[in-house]
Amino acid sequence: MVGGLLLLVGRRRAREDEQRIVPRGTPDTPAETAVILLLLACAACALAFVVLYALDRLPHQTQLLGAALGVALLLFAAALILIGKRLVVTEELEEPYPEEERLVETHEIERIVEESGSRITRRRLLVMAGGAAAGSLGLAAVTPAVSLGPLLDTDRFYKAPWTRGRRLVDEHGRPYLASDIEKDTFYSAYPEAADPELIGSPVVLVRLDPGDLHLPDGREHYALLGIVAYSKICTHAGCAISLYRKPTFAPVEPRPALVCPCHYSTFDPATGGTVLFGPAGRPLPQLPLLRDARGYLRAAGNFSGPVGPSWGGVREDRARA
């Protein structure tokens, strides 16, 4: 009797299940409880975020805010993952992949286009004229972009604000006396009354024994009493050369050098800024120096070569004012 009733119920259930789209799953009360607790904990953390935000002069506020928000999000995530894994039915569906191609429709589209042009006689010419129009319009559309920068004027890359007689000043604008420059250290200098933030402005000054200098031909007089000046901008990738090494005990230590901290190109100040090590492909541009009657350091002209990273043709020319 009871068995028959159960069978009946079971059959009805089975018939009902056949009509369902999503199959029936068994309840999982512990998981459900866990999800509810996780969501409530998430709400608490999210509210804590609001409270923490409202408080003033809270030490470690960024940390507390981040922890509250992060934990709230993670609790919500945990609840959702639990829902996905334990609370909703995970069916296994099958579906055919879309067909590789639909040739009939493709052919129809081709025909629609082809047949639409029955009144046209000089098709190729028309297409070429259309192409010319579209292409020219496209060109016209991008032309204003040339205003972004003078596209063809690359002359400015040769420019540096050094002219004969310009004084060398420090970062506060105080001019250097030749006697300020001491051995075994380095100085940053800028052109007086020019923008220090130009790539051609910063210069590094060091003083060596005049006897140790072996400057290239034609640059013998660039140095002043052993003081040499080079562009502070690395010829490799444009970083500032703010490293100077000098040996304390010359017999066993490396020779003096200017070094760039980006890729460690190393330049020899004694030989005209030639490359001792690293990826730089050309020496540092050298600034010729002179001393005025009052003892101030002045440029005797512009750099021996273009300043900063190289570009095509960079060797051709000296720096220009």
Partner 1 sequence: MRLLLALLLALALPSLAAADPPDQGIVHVPIAPGTPLKKAGAELYAANCARCHGDRGHGTAKDGPKLDDVGALATDFYLSIGAMPIADPHQQPVRTRVLLTAYERQALVSYVSSLGPGPLIPHPHAGRGNVSAGMQLFTQHCAGCHQIAAEGGYVTGARVPPLGQATDTQIAEAVRMGPYLMPVFSGKQITNAQLDSLTAYIHTTRHPLDAGGWSIGHVGPIPEGLVTWLLAAVVLVGVCLLIGKRLRRE
Partner 2 sequence: MIRRVVRYVDQRSGSAPLLLKKALRYVFPDHWSFLLGEVALYSFLVLLATGVYLTFFFVGSTARTVYHGSYAPLHGQVMSEAYKSVVHLSLDVKAGLLIRQTHHWAANVFVAAILLHLLRVFFTGAYRKPRDLIYYIGLSMLGLALLEGYLGYSLADDLLSGMGLAIGYAVALSIPFVGANLASLIWGGPFPGEPQFWPRMYIAHVLLLPLLIGGLLVLHIALIVGRHHTQFREKRKQTERTVVGMPAFPAYLPRSLGLALAVAGVLFLLGGLVQINPVWLWGPFHVGASTNGAQPDWYLGWLIGGLRLVPGFDVVVGHYTVVPNPFWGGAAFPLAVFAFLFAWPWLERRFGGDRRQHNLLDRPRDAPWRTAIGMAVLTFVFVVFVAGAADRIYVTFGLTYTGQIWVFRVLALVLPVVALYLTRRVCLELQEGERVARQRQLAGSSPK
Among partner 1, partner 2, none, the one that 17 touches (CB under a kind-dependent 5 to 8 A) is none
Cα–Cα distance for residue pair 68/52, rounded to 1 Å = 9
8 or 77: CB nearest partner 2: 77
Please give the full DSSP string across 125-143, using - where no structure is assigned. Answer: HHHHHHHHHHHHHHHHHHG
Cα–Cα distance for residue pair 221/289, rounded to 1 Å = 8
Look at the block and give the residue holding tokens 């190393």.
266
157 or 222: CB nearest partner 2: 157
Among partner 1, partner 2, none, the one that 244 touches (CB under a kind-dependent 5 to 8 A) is partner 1
- The answer to whether 296 and 178 have CB atoms below 8 angstroms apart is yes
Instruction: Identify which range of 127-135, 262-270, 284-292, 295-303 contacts partner 2 by CB under 8 A.
Output: 262-270
Distances (CA, A) of 138 to 1, 84, 132, 143, 145: 86, 51, 10, 9, 12
Among partner 1, partner 2, none, the one that 140 touches (CB under a kind-dependent 5 to 8 A) is none
Instruction: Identify which range of 60-68, 123-131, 207-215, 286-294 contacts partner 2 by CB under 8 A.
Output: 60-68
Closest distance between partner 2 and the C-beta of residue 151, in Å? 5
- The answer to whether 260 and 278 have CB atoms below 8 angstroms apart is yes
Cα–Cα distance for residue pair 239/314, rounded to 1 Å = 18
Instruction: Summarize as ranges the residues that interact with partner 1 (CB under 8 A).
Output: 60, 62-63, 66, 77, 81, 84-85, 171, 180, 182-188, 240-249, 251-254, 257, 259, 261, 264, 266, 276-278
Cα–Cα distance for residue pair 188/262, rounded to 1 Å = 18
Distances (CA, A) of 8 to 4, 17, 25, 254, 297: 6, 14, 20, 97, 109
Tokens of 290: 């002179």
Residue 237 interacting with partner 2 (CB under 8 A): yes
Among partner 2, partner 1, none, the one that 180 touches (CB under a kind-dependent 5 to 8 A) is partner 1
Among partner 2, partner 1, none, the one that 247 touches (CB under a kind-dependent 5 to 8 A) is partner 1
Residue 244 interacting with partner 2 (CB under 8 A): no
192 or 268: CB nearest partner 1: 268
Residue 74 interacting with partner 2 (CB under 8 A): yes
Helix (H) or strand (E) holding 34: helix 29-54
Segment 144 to 183, residues that bind partner 2, using CB under 8 A: 145-146, 148-154, 156-157, 159, 171
Provide the mask over 101-140, with x wherever binding to partner 2 is found by CB under 8 A and - wherever it is not.
----------------------------------------
Segment 15 to 54, residues that bind partner 2, using CB under 8 A: 22, 53
- The answer to whether 308 and 231 have CB atoms below 8 angstroms apart is yes
Among partner 1, partner 2, none, the one that 157 touches (CB under a kind-dependent 5 to 8 A) is partner 2
- The answer to whether 256 and 245 have CB atoms below 8 angstroms apart is yes
